[in-house]
């Protein structure tokens, strides 16, 4: 009669567990990557629209007086877009990205734990460059949870680019008067 196996002793069950864990990691990574792709498309569309509007105003195709109701309406719309994009949409998106990335790393770590048991001690998880990089990246991404997502280079640059283009539109209207 065979004795019951403990975790790590049955290569078949380890293989099945690793396959299942990697599927979970892949699903989390796909969600992260899909959301990142969507974010890039929305950002570039917004920036293109703002740059186009600034160019049209600067060229003189649209004439707005600084003291007109149209200018106040334009400034209000731009301010509303900026507030929603910078303080509602981007931080919420960032928080979900962090959650998906942390989830993917969690599952990759578990798979590595299981696989490392069959490797020589010198290549175990403690020496994994992926995990060392992952810790630094997770610490950087964790800023979103503490309200400091603008300090992360990618979201800080998005914020600055959006702010710059909004101000450029206002400046172009101002210069044309």
pTM above 0.75, yes or no: no
pLDDT for the residue 148: 52
Q: Report yes or no: 105 and 163 within 8 Å, Cβ to Cβ.
A: no
Per the domain annotation, does 6 fall within a domain?
Answer: no
Per the domain annotation, does 47 fall within a domain?
Answer: yes
Per the domain annotation, does 90 fall within a domain?
Answer: yes
Per the domain annotation, does 144 fall within a domain?
Answer: yes
For range 73-77, the mean pLDDT: 91
Residue range of the domain that includes 136: 12-175
Count Cα atoms within 13 angstroms, Cβ side, for 113. Answer: 9
For range 22-33, the mean pLDDT: 95
For range 108-121, the mean pLDDT: 80
Please, which pLDDT band fits residue 156 given cuts at 50, 70 and 90?
Answer: confident
pLDDT for the residue 65: 78
For range 30-39, the mean pLDDT: 93
Q: Is the pLDDT of residue 73 over 50?
A: yes
Average model confidence (pLDDT) across the chain: 80
Per the domain annotation, does 4 fall within a domain?
Answer: no
Look at the chain and report how many structural domains it folds into: 1
Per the domain annotation, does 3 fall within a domain?
Answer: no
Please, which pLDDT band fits residue 157 given cuts at 50, 70 and 90?
Answer: confident
Q: For 6, phi and psi rounded to 5 degrees?
A: -100, 170
Per the domain annotation, does 82 fall within a domain?
Answer: yes
Torsion of CA 56, 167, 47, 96, to 10 degrees: -160
Q: Is the pLDDT of residue 137 over 70?
A: no
pLDDT for the residue 4: 42
What percent of the chain is predicted at pLDDT more than 70?
75
> Running DSSP on this structure, what letter comes out for residue 125?
G
Per the domain annotation, does 153 fall within a domain?
Answer: yes
């Amino acid at each position: 009669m065979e004795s019951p196996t403990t975790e790590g002793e049955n290569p078949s069950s380890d293989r099945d567990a690793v396959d299942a864990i990697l599927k979970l990691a892949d699903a989390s990574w796909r969600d992260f990557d899909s959301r990142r792709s969507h974010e890039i498309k929305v950002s570039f569309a917004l920036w293109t629209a703002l740059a186009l509007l600034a160019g049209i105003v600067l060229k003189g195709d649209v004439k707005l007086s600084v003291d007109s109701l149209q200018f106040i309406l334009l400034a209000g719309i731009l301010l509303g877009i900026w507030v929603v994009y910078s303080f509602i949409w981007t931080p919420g998106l960032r928080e979900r990205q962090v959650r998906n990335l942390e989830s993917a790393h969690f599952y990759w770590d578990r798979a590595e734990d299981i696989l490392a048991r069959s490797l020589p001690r010198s290549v175990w998880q403690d020496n994994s460059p992926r995990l060392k990089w992952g810790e630094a990246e997770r610490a950087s991404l964790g800023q979103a949870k503490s309200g400091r997502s603008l300090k992360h280079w990618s979201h800080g640059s998005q914020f600055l680019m959006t702010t710059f283009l909004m101000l450029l539109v206002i400046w172009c209207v101002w210069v044309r008067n």
